[in-house]
Structure 1
């Protein structure tokens, strides 16, 4: 599994983020903070962009209460997003850094409009960026000989094509991203289309479902039995890996099956070595169901380029959180990217310092701090102090409801 990697996010005038950015993002990022600090809003950036891609910016805003509800209080200028990402290496060669910029404002008729949409490449750290796509108010252009960019090097001569969109609130990447010749646009479009934010619900995952095919776990987990059956029937080696991991993570679990009933429904069954008969999912512990669902998600044969997981510690025994962190890290090391929010010191204890960020609020706006940038936290962690204990002791200033 090799996916693109997001290296920087900048947000301006989006809810609690009046001006914030994170640079040099690792493949696994964990965000701490008090309730209301902005952890969910950080994930919502991708949800907003995804909704804008599927429909338009106006729809994405209305889904969140309209422009006024999304716009930061007392903000100045447009809503702005900047995402820097890099595609996978090709033949061992690092690919150029790609920057996507989007600004959203209001026209004289108080209708949302895209005031700026730019996708650019930069060759090396100092090379001049090439704007492969540049649109404003529904008009712009895109380079159509992108494939020559790397081979031609400094002799690259761009060929541009003018385009006019149907409406000034439509993303240019929505249409152009469907064409293979616009490779960078297509890759970013796939990121937004295939990102995954977990809203896992135990009762939904315990459902007895109608038969049918589901290749990917839904955000609520309500198709867990169908996906289990699909992986077992089509990717048996992956299923064996999941089962092996399950037996390591939850003692006693020897077998998991998705079986079809006489009336044509699918039942998820777990076999415990201590008992003769298997348990159907509704009688299995919440923690067992949740761990199995995460393994199904993390070993998806066609994994998501970005996972956003909120509070994975819910329903899990504290002793399992170290192992769950290891599973997320293994997914990241295989080439995926995972953003996680947590309120659990036990989960944080399993982290490496470069994976950890915390959110603070100053005068009503959210700032993002990196654990490695705090000299005291860095020193204590190097001496062997666990990050979760440091958090409980108040070393992450501003990360708690009383600090």
Structure 2
């Protein structure tokens, strides 16, 4: 069987609630590495439904048969029965293919015969009790689909971020961050500013404080209006699951010579109930550091002075093998990828030469495809297959070396013989191709930021896009901004933060799961995106109180 099993889902059109449950099951399967064929995702309006189902079943490793009362009745009646639907498996089809690939999923309790008669010899999995969903899903995934359990990779994870004096972020703390964190809010609420904090910190490590600082206009543009004091950032993170929390504090100010690091320290708590150990502590370029794999108070305290007060101590000592904890943080932040993807940039021709990773703007897209063609053609084939599932008639993506030594991107549609140049391709195609390349990197960035990924994409593609985000969040932390309720529909409330500007003009925020009544409404089967659009969130509506908290709670 292929590395990623392919599953087709057969079900009857019973209700909107049932259809949503199936969509969520499919998204969870996709998140766990299962290639899932679902009519909601893959069936085009001009496709023949019967042919789509028969082709999907034949091409799949497994078929999930969602057995509701209605499905069992219609399946047993066959093609001549009342209410027959072409998406229902028939006795003839099962006899033609054999029953080994069919897995009945029970979602009803009324009938004594819980599955169609022609599948009576198949062992079913009972998903009727939603309280047992996680247990039954693990059984389906590992025991029936034979997907091995995924061990979370040992990658760093930010658990909390505190920001002070950075533009509209006068004093805000985002706590209990998940592998996937999505920011909502009215235009101008501060989402892009939070996004820029990650970009600024990454640039401080990769191009230096001066360049990152001056690019944003210096202190007069960066410091919160009407406020004094330095700009401060504080990260609480783990290097890997269950490792101790490490706190990184960075305070930046400016004088006549330019920006300087006012204060920078790293600390952790060694052992349960132990005291905090500050193993790096610098102020204006002078301070102390404790080397070693597990720096503690018994370690050697080394005093040092940096040549330039604008140099980050973590960047300096992180280049030494004597400081593995500091080195790990330096590698982590330097590896962040904040996407400012421009479809115009992806259309450009580039200098020839393979490049391993997509640039923030995507202007090296032909080079990355060249790299995949030369080094990992099977990975590129997988990416193109996923893209063609989402973009009708797309057949292939290729690059071509021109006479002047530059490389251009070409896209071929079926049934035409000649490809078109990337400059004539749709924005959505190029954007989706870029995201798939980023998400299917052999070693994806340890933190990925994306603003409004829904732009240029058909709304029905967003469920699959969220599935890709959830899959990659196993190995990379994702920070995403969005204005799309369809995107939000696929998320849990603890993955969503809503931002607003208070009466002083500064940004505040709150998790959707912490808002009054949201969890109860979700338990009742209401989609999170629908709650957002219908005004159940406590704030974030641009047409109500300038996006701020409602003077009266929404009542329905």
Q: TM-score, normalised by structure 2?
A: 0.67
Q: 1:365 is matched with which residue?
A: 506
Structure 1 residue runs without a partner (length 5+): none
Q: Does structure 1 residue 159 correspond to structure 2 residue 300?
A: yes
User: Aligned partners of 2:407 and 2:258: how far apart in 1?
Assistant: 48
Change (3 A) 1:369 1:124: farther
SS at match of 2:418: coil
User: Aligned partners of 2:488 and 2:444: how far apart in 1?
Assistant: 25
Q: Does structure 1 residue 208 correspond to structure 2 residue 349?
A: yes
Q: 1:129 is matched with which residue?
A: 276
User: Aligned partners of 2:172 and 2:492: how far apart in 1?
Assistant: 23
Query: How far has the Cα of 1:157 moved from its partner?
Result: 1.9
SS at match of 1:246: helix
Q: Does structure 1 residue 228 correspond to structure 2 residue 374?
A: no
Q: 2:217 is matched with which residue?
A: 65
Change (3 A) 1:106 1:278: closer
Q: 2:265 is matched with which residue?
A: 118
Residues 159-216 of structure 1: CA distance to partner in whole angstroms, max 9, x if unpaired? 1211101132321112111112211211211222221111111122122333122211
401, 407, 411: which is aligned to 1:270? Answer: 411
How many correspondences in the alignment? Answer: 391
CA RMSD, Structure 1 to Structure 2 (Å): 2.1
User: Aligned partners of 1:249 and 1:135: how far apart in 2?
Assistant: 51
Which is further off, 257-266 or 114-123? 257-266
Q: 1:143 is matched with which residue?
A: 290
Change (3 A) 1:125 1:386: farther
CA contact (8 A) 2:198 2:338 kept: no
Q: TM-score, normalised by structure 1?
A: 0.91
SS at match of 2:461: helix
491, 495, 500: which is aligned to 1:351? Answer: 491
User: Aligned partners of 2:395 and 2:270: how far apart in 1?
Assistant: 51
CA contact (8 A) 1:98 1:184 kept: no
Query: How far has the Cα of 1:298 moved from its partner?
Result: 0.9
Q: 1:96 is matched with which residue?
A: 244
SS at match of 1:147: coil
Residues 223-250 of structure 1: CA distance to partner in whole angstroms, max 9, x if unpaired? 1111011012112232232122223222
CA contact (8 A) 1:140 1:164 kept: yes
Query: How far has the Cα of 1:288 moved from its partner?
Result: 1.1
Q: 2:437 is matched with which residue?
A: 296
Q: 1:313 is matched with which residue?
A: 454
Query: How far has the Cα of 1:341 moved from its partner?
Result: 0.5
Residues 119-144 of structure 1: CA distance to partner in whole angstroms, max 9, x if unpaired? 11223564322111001121001111
User: Aligned partners of 1:28 and 1:192: how far apart in 2?
Assistant: 17
User: Aligned partners of 1:126 and 1:79: how far apart in 2?
Assistant: 31
CA contact (8 A) 1:33 1:359 kept: yes
SS at match of 2:395: strand
Q: 1:341 is matched with which residue?
A: 481
